[in-house]
Structure 1
Amino acid sequence: MLVDNRVEGDSRVQKIARSAAEAGWDVTLLGRSPDEVERRWQLGVAEVRLLPMPNPLDRRRHEFRRSWLRWPLAYRPGGIAEHRAHWVRAWQADLTVRAALLEQRARAGELDPGRLRRARRGLRLRATVARLVGRWVWLRTKMLNRVRSGRKFRNPWDRAYTLFWQVVQGDRAWRRLEPGLWDYELAYGPEIDRLRPDLIHAHDFRMLGVGARAKIRAAGQGRRVALVWDAHEFLPGIKPWRDHARWLPAHRAHEREYTPHADAVLTVSNDLAELLRREHRLPAPPAVLLNAPAAEHGPVDDAPPPEIRAECGLDADVPLLVYSGAAAPQRGLDTLVDALPRLPGVHVALVVNPALRYVEQLAARAARAGVADRLHVLPYVPHWQVVPFLSDADVGVIPIHRWPNHEIALITKFFEYSHARLPLVVSDVRTMAATVRETGQGEVFRAADVDDFVRAVGAVLADPARYRAAYDRPGLLESWTWRAQAEVLDGVYHRLLADAGPPPTPDPATPGAPLPDRPTAQGAIR
């Protein structure tokens, strides 16, 4: 299995790897290390390995050049700015120590007054020069930063460049438009070849090309490798991760080039399956694996999950809204914060990555509105603890904005809230809104509309039992379990490797058995 992240935080990848391994497949999950160190651990009986990935090809040619006309004083790229800034700081630190030594000698009476005055004057002069040099370095570094950030690839020249390579090379144009995709190939490719897999499960669009090229190389050596592409999102509907015109055309071309090499396609919803079928002219819609919770994946000796109300310091009768998942502007968390002044006594818990700048901005926004004491920012818990952790809240909130990919799937937190039996308040994105209206498990509001959000929350808090009763519907929650999804996954593998025979079942009592689960594997963020 291949994924372009560090595995922690991606519950879908964790669940798929662990379920496949528990079904008897010999699973190695390759992810990207956050630094230059390779890391290994066990996920159930699956092996996880994070590979270091240098990314020199991700840098554009203009990042190595100076901008003489617009920013003539900017340092040249390559690290000299950082070197000069640290050099000035070291000089100032040295002058501080020398001044302290001088005062120490003065108190000890080792210097006559005239010599002491000259020494002090000399140190003040050096400190002034160091300060001026520091300002000069700051100015040149600021210009360098302007050079680095000034190119957004949205001017007429860049649009013409993009169009030229699309016309000349077609779907091969990504090699010119987004050469950083080769960094993944150079990091993962040799290791895949060494492992000689029978099947490659490529998660999302970046890993599709890596898996397809490994399959092609194996075929050149006379080996058959099955390729499964797991499409987590609809690429044309993604908000580009970079603010330039080349990112989306390049990645779409990359995806189109390698999709024909996939022997099977998986995805997260029926709507997305149909979009992928049309986009890539697939002979049949992809198989669907819902992002349902897998509570059974917790360690046997796992400690009881934390309690969300205890983490927030709240009594059982205090109304508590919870949002669990990725924190980003398009997730609509501003709506929650802006609604708090109009929801007296109501508290909000954000189970997110607390270190993100956006989360800090939300906290500052709450402070300006005078509701900081009712906004609680909590870290992720392991994905198998998410459901019991959330269950003490009163309402599960999904305020995401109306982006194409938000419209077409029931996302992970939807299932987690449902298994926690929480009444829901969701924005009017198509699939989730339709499901909530059909099941009666919550209320729908207009995305980014604070007034309508306040109305929906008020309706749910006025009669929560009415919405919780929806979960008593026979078969509803049973159809949203990971166990059912794992059966689909195993069926796809067996179909592709029908001649491979039954896979062996690992014996944990044998030497070299897997280590326990790494306890820091985090909850869902998608």
Structure 2
Amino acid sequence: MGSDEAAPAGRRIVMLVDNGVNGDSRVQKQARSAAEAGFDVTLLGRSPDGKEHTWTLGPARVRLLPMPTPLHKRPHEFRRHWVVAPLAYPPTGVGAQRHQAIKAWKADLQVRRAMGAQGVDAALLRAESLAARATGRWVSLRRAQGVRSRAARKRLDTPVDRFYTWFWQASLGDRSWRRIEPGLWDWELAYGKVIDRLEPELIHANDFRMLGVGARAKIRAQSRGRSVKLVWDAHEFLPGVRPWTDHARWRLGHMAHEREYAPYADAVTTVSDDLAGLLQQAHRLPERPRVMLNAPAADPDHDPGDGPVPGADLRAMCELGPETPLVVYSGAAAPQRGLDVMVDALPRQPGVHVALVTNNHHGAYLTGLMARAEQLGVRDRVHLLAYVPHWQVVPMLSGADAGVIPIHHWPNHEIALITKFFEYSHARLPLVVSDVRTMAATVRETGQGEVFTAEDLDDYVRAVTRVLADPARYRAAYDKPGRLDTWTWDAQAEVLVDVYRGLLERNAK
């Protein structure tokens, strides 16, 4: 931790995160670091399968809680749309059942026609076939109306939807999220009672969804005579986030929710100095948020709580020898992450292989990307790999010849050095990064890689070609004394522990 001072015994901390913890190295490192500093830490996350899961991260406890999501559905999804689609089936699943029943009827008719030589009445079969076709067209018409009506409301930007959004914003202000993004209550209903039972002295809420959960727990505790401090760790600048769903209310609802509960935070931490300034201005925070970079541990070769573990060998995972050029991307997969440029470039990069260490391999984006690779005849040179434990990430990445960050221009992408930037750096990889502001400026200053114009295939090929032609030139940037010293989690953990101690000491007075 960088400090010999132990935390006061029994100071209970509850950390909140809106995911399954695995794959979120920042949250894992926070929980472990706080627990190793002497705090009693419980990390609450979301279960992936409706069952509670528990394990430990060193001295920290992890609990993944089941979270039903009925409030994520909108009222109109349960109703028929009489004006837009008067013939549509009700949204009960009956349309799919009727469609399947027609298919079964036609299949039966096909078999009975094949039995014609066994005395089946041909005229009756013809009449029944006509009836099946007519009924099938009627069912298809009704299903199509349902599909069209759902598509019309999917983005929630019809005149009726826009009026609804405007009305509740005008009526309730920042409380309007209760109407325009009610699914946020599902997180409260899954986590709230568990937090209350744990009776923490400090709640650490990771990102915007958990801010409200933590703030409401603080309010309830204070009403019962317990003082609870709230730390909000803001990972993103919400106005600059690409919406996670396709409808118009997502950003508006989440921003209103964040504005309502930001004043309850006793301390705010974040991932970059630029984001700290934006948050202070947006929420009129009395103090500038403290910065904790998304840096890897200085000694990531093993998890100190679990004893020796085998290392992850990237080239072995890809079944490649040391002579094969290999570029790697590590992190979440989504259109704005720009992974398509890595696949599209392969026909122009003979012999080069791409490793994608990412999540959700069966999601629409990655399955589409792999279909594109198949189309281009390069699927055998694209390796889809699963996440490894965070302490194995850097050793694994070091097996590549270059680390790629091809993200597109979105406001949040411009303002921070993201996790993979630090992980690639500690793996001493030459970097190939798109020209998003902060990362591009850093790479140009340090000389640790090449910058290309985001979404520009020709420029990406140029940058990778230059790096692979002379990787030693770029690796030499890491030889500069002190280059990586502040890019370690050990330095960031000192900030975390300092924030906790400051709040809890103030609480004790």
Relative to the length of structure 2, the TM-score reads: 0.88
Return the alpha-carbon distance in structure 1 between the equivalents of residues 122 and 34 of structure 2: 73
Does 2:370 correspond to 1:363?
yes
Match of 2:31 among 7, 17, 21: 17
- Give the alignment of 1:449-488 within 5 angstroms: 449-488=456-495
Q: Which residue of 2 aligns with 1:513?
A: none
Distance 1:223 1:417, change over 3 A: same
- Give the alignment of 1:9-408 within 5 angstroms: 9-84=23-98, 116-118=118-120, 137=139, 139-151=141-153, 152-294=155-297, 295=300, 297=303, 300-353=306-359, 354-408=361-415
Does 2:431 correspond to 1:424?
yes
Tell me if structure 1 keeps the 8 A contact 2:234–2:268: yes
- SS of match in other structure, 1:224: coil
Distance 1:450 1:488, change over 3 A: same
Q: Which residue of 2 aligns with 1:508?
A: none
Return the alpha-carbon distance in structure 2 between the equivalents of residues 415 and 319 of structure 1: 22
- SS of match in other structure, 2:433: strand
Return the alpha-carbon distance in structure 2 between the equivalents of residues 24 and 127 of structure 1: 76
Relative to the length of structure 1, the TM-score reads: 0.86
Worse-matched range after superposition: 124-133 or 249-258: 124-133
Q: Deviations over 1:49-76 (max 9, x none)?
A: 1222222222112112112233233221
Give the drift of 1:273: 0.8
Return the alpha-carbon distance in structure 1 between the equivalents of residues 205 and 135 of structure 2: 52
Tell me if structure 1 keeps the 8 A contact 2:303–2:309: no
Return the alpha-carbon distance in structure 1 between the equivalents of residues 474 and 403 of structure 2: 12
Worse-matched range after superposition: 440-449 or 368-377: 368-377
Tell me if structure 1 keeps the 8 A contact 2:176–2:253: yes
Return the alpha-carbon distance in structure 2 between the equivalents of residues 154 and 478 of structure 1: 49
Return the alpha-carbon distance in structure 2 between the equivalents of residues 449 and 244 of structure 1: 28
Tell me if structure 1 keeps the 8 A contact 2:58–2:304: no
Paired amino acid for 1:456: A
Paired amino acid for 1:150: A
Give the drift of 1:120: 11
- SS of match in other structure, 2:16: coil
Worse-matched range after superposition: 124-133 or 285-294: 124-133
Return the alpha-carbon distance in structure 2 between the equivalents of residues 395 and 324 of structure 1: 11
Paired amino acid for 2:81: S
Q: Which residue of 2 aligns with 1:519?
A: none
- SS of match in other structure, 1:397: strand
Tell me if structure 1 keeps the 8 A contact 2:57–2:305: no
Return the alpha-carbon distance in structure 2 between the equivalents of residues 198 and 134 of structure 1: 63
Return the alpha-carbon distance in structure 2 between the equivalents of residues 490 and 247 of structure 1: 34
Distance 1:408 1:123, change over 3 A: same
Give the drift of 1:393: 0.6
Give the drift of 1:137: 4.9
Q: Which residue of 1 aligns with 2:5?
A: none
Q: Which residue of 1 aligns with 2:4?
A: none
**Bigger RCO of structures 1 and 2 (CA < 8 A, at least 6 apart):** 1
Paired amino acid for 1:42: T
- SS of match in other structure, 1:336: helix
Give the drift of 1:247: 1.6
Q: Deviations over 1:167-189 (max 9, x none)?
A: 22221121221111112112211
Give the drift of 1:121: 10
Return the alpha-carbon distance in structure 2 between the equivalents of residues 91 and 194 of structure 1: 56
Does 2:500 correspond to 1:493?
yes
- SS of match in other structure, 1:381: coil
Distance 1:50 1:130, change over 3 A: farther
Tell me if structure 1 keeps the 8 A contact 2:267–2:289: yes
Give the drift of 1:398: 0.3
- SS of match in other structure, 1:495: helix
Paired amino acid for 2:403: G
Paired amino acid for 1:149: A
Distance 1:69 1:497, change over 3 A: same
Aligned residues: 489
Return the alpha-carbon distance in structure 1 between the equivalents of residues 170 and 373 of structure 2: 50
Q: Deviations over 1:286-320 (max 9, x none)?
A: 11111111325365445422322222222211111
Return the alpha-carbon distance in structure 2 between the equivalents of residues 475 and 173 of structure 1: 49
- SS of match in other structure, 2:269: strand
Return the alpha-carbon distance in structure 1 between the equivalents of residues 106 and 141 of structure 2: 18
Does 2:420 correspond to 1:413?
yes
- SS of match in other structure, 1:284: coil
Distance 1:92 1:475, change over 3 A: farther
Tell me if structure 2 keeps the 8 A contact 1:298–1:384: no
Q: Which residue of 1 aligns with 2:12?
A: none
Return the alpha-carbon distance in structure 2 between the equivalents of residues 498 and 247 of structure 1: 38
Q: Deviations over 1:125-147 (max 9, x none)?
A: 98997787677555544433333
Paired amino acid for 1:305: G
Paired amino acid for 2:289: P
Match of 1:4 among 9, 18, 29: 18
Paired amino acid for 2:366: V
- Aligned-residue Cα RMSD (Å) equals 2.8
Q: Which residue of 1 aligns with 2:8?
A: none
Identity of aligned residues (%): 66
Distance 1:266 1:88, change over 3 A: farther
Return the alpha-carbon distance in structure 1 between the equivalents of residues 125 and 19 of structure 2: 51
Distance 1:300 1:187, change over 3 A: closer
- SS of match in other structure, 2:345: helix
Tell me if structure 2 keeps the 8 A contact 1:335–1:399: yes
Worse-matched range after superposition: 120-129 or 49-58: 120-129
Q: Deviations over 1:228-272 (max 9, x none)?
A: 001010000001122232221221111111101000001111111
